[in-house]
Amino acid sequence: MQPFRAFIEKYQKLSEPEWEEIKSCLMQKTYPKGELILESGKICSKLYFIEKGFLRYYLWKDGNDVTKFFTEAPYCFTSQRSFTNNIPAQENIVATTEAVIWEMNKTDAFQLLKYQNWSEFIRKLIQEVQFFTEQILEEIQNHTAEERYIKMLEENNPILTQAALKDIASYLGIAPQSLSRIRKKYWSKKQKLT
């Protein structure tokens, strides 16, 4: 099955004609490692599906690159605020590995909402993104950077292997040196236990 169809159908089953119409709106593109998919300041007019690869979202703050979050394939993404309200995006989205991406124009994405199943899929997807955002917010509100990093390690979070250390530190809101200290402490504790 086409990976985007398989992804949609984890949320909502599609009929053959629905899938045919969705498929006709998709265009595949491969982004090399390090290439920007979305640049801050530009209006995001596409809905994307990442079939293969890993993404990093970041902002510029006082000349510094601040990591907001990461997305692992397979998943849908866009700059929701820019896409919905037709305003310049605040974030940059970069492929941290070579990425296979399917793109759909905004006009098509909206026009497909006439299909109950596509509309349900979009609703469930936005809701899931909302859960993820709420979860990150809760973690930041209730846990230290060290606790959050240890959780990543214990959950074998793909961020650990796919993202650069300086970006993980930025995502945790700490300096790379602090992350090094946390890592050192964690592994020496582990060693003592074994």
What angle separates helix 165-172 from helix 145-154, to the nearest 10 degrees?
Answer: 130
Candidate residues 126, 164, 165, 175; the one interacting with a second copy per rule CB under 8 A: 126
Helix, strand, or coil (residue 143)? coil
Candidate residues 13, 42, 123, 184; the one interacting with a second copy per rule CB under 8 A: 123
Helix, strand, or coil (residue 188)? helix
* 111 touches a second copy (CB under 8 A): no
Candidate residues 122, 159, 174, 179; the one interacting with a second copy per rule CB under 8 A: 122
| Sequence-separated (6 or more) residues with CB below 8 Å from residue 154 | none
User: Smallest Cα–Cα separation from 144: which of 178, 188, 177?
Assistant: 178
* 119 touches a second copy (CB under 8 A): yes
Candidate residues 142, 156, 161, 194; the one interacting with a second copy per rule CB under 8 A: 142
* 41 touches a second copy (CB under 8 A): no
Question: Helices (DSSP H) in 40-164: which residue ranges?
Answer: 80-85, 106-111, 116-142, 145-154, 159-162
* 66 touches a second copy (CB under 8 A): yes
Q: Residue 161 burial by CB count (10 A; 0-12/13-18/19+): exposed, middle or buried?
A: exposed
Q: Least distance from C-beta 21 to a second copy, angstroms? A: 17
* 63 touches a second copy (CB under 8 A): no
Task: Write out the residues near a second copy by the rule CB under 8 A.
Answer: 59, 61, 66, 68, 80-81, 84, 90, 113, 116, 119-120, 122-123, 126-127, 129-131, 133-134, 136-138, 140-142, 173
